Structure 1
């Protein structure tokens, strides 16, 4: 119910006044040099209770920063089965581009003149057989930007396992970053053998998990680094976040616009979009939508597998189609509400046969 931990004292007074029938107790304020971040308050019987400040309760975006690692648990049998399916789905879904190096081929448009002249010398100077070269396809670079703030704390372990499968399926073409209040590159941590040791390495590397949210600042730091900027150029960029930005979302919208122009496709996966009633009408998501090629819902490995299999259709479609799709769905809902007859109060609706 609170947007800031500073309002906890006032909340305790109101709570006691309402639920303890007017028995308002005195709230003890911690000293300024308290390093544990704990607030003590007296309860109904006068006993002292301790509440630890935990920024990022998994309900809404927070501005508080955390320092320290978080363990992500061990993977169970169902998660490992889904991860095996993802290891197959990633290579089949990633977009491809012709490689720069040419290889010998049975047919093509470019003659391999060196091999043609070699064969001609063997045949007495006659051009009896043609040799060809072609540019074989290779997968585009995949860039994953994963939100690990407190509003996604329930989904973070599975989202990291999803990123681990992408790294293992295309190790040479996949880059993974996490962001909360900081920006952390975890590509190396996810390169280890075994998902649980890899998540343990991520836990040691990421120190802002379950903390506050600064999406615009994190994306701005990414774009300000020339080495990171090169990773986004021509890549399939996937941002996994709920888009709950604190304060003014202008920086987040501008950074998303630039990412969309740099990458081949920009896909945004949000756990909130898994709900059929979700509509991106907040200031942040409404500003992002015109720059996105697809807005999907991912909250665990099962929904992640569905969205990975949908990538080829997104790549084959037009650019920045998320806004048009949302507008079309909104118009459809409006027409459906207009067409449905109003139900008289007190009378149940009769289903059509």
Structure 2
């Protein structure tokens, strides 16, 4: 008769009752999160499963925090994660150990982006399914980058907000009058002599200095009139990203029937709160357009006082002017004499058959350094390259 096991030791492996493998159900939970709007990548799923490999997957609390810390990357994801977690796991029985019997169908817009299966047979290989989903997501993102911002569905607008939040604009720089240590440039007598004193009077290396660089100011003027309403929300979110990247050297204003400074509102970290407070501060949202008078007010109140001097001024507008177009040309000419570069971004410039024949665009064209399209995410990324190169 076998001797009893010492206390505290587990029974042999062959006597254990093996539980069903919980990981298929947990990987299915990540698919449910993706359908709920939480962006999923293979790296996050791998981190989630690796965390659960070291924890007790039967503990609901540990499973919750393992997913929240590895799968959520944005404050907005937490609300969706909580709802999906409650819907997927049974509060009384703990985590589900089997995948759902019928997977939830994706929204119609996403269905068109999913790659078609050959022969229509269901695939059991989980790895291949993940690769297909990642490939479809990449394809959908590339398509969305070239879509017109004014023609997006609500689901595509939500996706666009996440893509805008991923932008990392590099601020333009300009030479400074101050000089700093450098490998090239003129000799630096002070640093060279101080280094020689530390070396008992022996000059070992000739140290040099050269002009340093500092951020160049950027001014964003956004038209929020009725004709620009389909693009106003996306452009304000784009402005929020630029302002947050360089809050000390970037200013943002809205143009309509009056001039409104929204820099302070857009400096907030949360984009939803920033846009909410900015919209409350704008009294002429979706109103008329008096570009000549409003740009003149900017030059008088802010431009000549330093905001536009040697700055890169970017004007987002379609050029529809209800007032005097000659006045608009005069005021943009004044602005061009103050600024380093003036860039006009017209959402209609990227459409087929466009020609700059609007009265406002014709009046300002001689004073512009660049006339760019701004109707898609791809053109906004190109704008960031132009601003950085300036």
TM category (shorter chain) comes to 0.5 to 0.7
Per the alignment, residue 276 of structure 2 pairs with: 200
Secondary structure of residue in 1 paired with 2:230:
coil
How far 1:111 moved relative to its partner? 2.7
In the alignment, structure 1 residue 80 sits paired with structure 2 residue 148:
no
**Of 279-288 and 190-199, the range deviating more from structure 2:** 279-288
Matched with 1:128 is: 204
Q: Which residue of 2 aligns with 1:100?
A: 177
| Partners of 1:306 and 1:120 in 2: CA distance | 49
**In the alignment, structure 1 residue 188 sits paired with structure 2 residue 188:** no
Check if 1:291 corresponds to 2:367. Answer: yes
SS, match of residue 99 in structure 1: strand
Map 1:252-271 to 2 at 5 A.
252-271=328-347
The residue number in structure 1 matching 2:214 is 138
Please, which of 336, 353, 369 is the counterpart of residue 277 of structure 1? Answer: 353
Query: Whose RCO is larger (CA < 8 A, sep 6+)?
Result: 1
Cα distance in 1, alignment partners of residues 223 and 283 from structure 2: 13
State whether residues 155 and 300 of structure 1, in contact with CA within 8 Å, keep that contact through their aligned partners in structure 2.
no
- Return the offset for 1:181: 0.7
SS at match of 1:192: coil
Aligned mates of 1:226, 1:272 — CA distance in 2:
28
Segments of 4+ in structure 1 off by > 6 A? none
User: In structure 2, how many angstroms separate the alpha carbons of the residues matched to 1:266 and 1:126?
Assistant: 53
1:296, 1:74 → 2: CA distance?
Answer: 27
CA distance in 2, matches of 1:78, 1:228: 40
What is the distance in 1 between the residues matched to 2:189 and 2:211? 15
For structure 2, the residue ranges without an aligned partner over 5 or more in a row are: 1-153
- Residue 224 (structure 1) shift: 1.0
Conserved? CA contact 1:142–1:237, under 8 Å: yes
The structure that is helix-richer by fraction is 2
**Larger Rg, first or second structure (1 or 2):** 2
Q: In the aligned structure 2, how far is the partner of 1:74 from the partner of 1:110?
A: 57
Aligned residues: 237
Q: CA deviation at 1:108?
A: 2.2
8 Å Cα contact 2:329/2:360 also seen in 1: yes
CA contact (8 A) 1:145 1:238 kept: yes
1:169-184 correspondence to structure 2 within 5 Å: 169-184=245-260
Map Cα deviations across residues 13-61 of structure 1 (whole Å, 9 max, x no partner): xxxxxxxxxxxxxxxxxxxxxxxxxxxxxxxxxxxxxxxxxxxxxxxxx
Deviation by residue 1:142-200 (Cα, 9 ceiling, x = unmatched): 11001111111111100101101111122221110111011011110000011100001
Change (3 A) 1:139 1:201: same
State how far apart, in whole Å, the 1-side matches of 2:273 and 2:187 are.
49
**What do the CA deviations read for 1:251-283 (whole angstroms, capped 9, x no partner)?**
110111121221111110011212121111122
| 3-state SS of paired residue (2:177) | coil
Shift of 1:134: 2.4
Q: Distance in 2 between matches of 1:227 and 1:278?
A: 31
Distance in 1 between the 2:272 and 2:294 partners? Answer: 26
Aligned pairs for 1:23-102 (under 5 A) are 77-86=158-167, 88=168, 90-91=169-170, 94-102=171-179
Please say if residues 292 and 324 of structure 2, whose CA atoms lie closer than 8 Å, have aligned partners that are also in contact: no
Query: What is the CA-CA distance between 1:123 and the residue it aligns to?
Result: 3.1
Compare 183-192 and 95-104 and name the one that shifted more: 95-104
Name the SS of the counterpart of 2:275 in structure 1. helix
Task: Say what the alpha-carbon RMSD is for the aligned residues.
Answer: 2.2
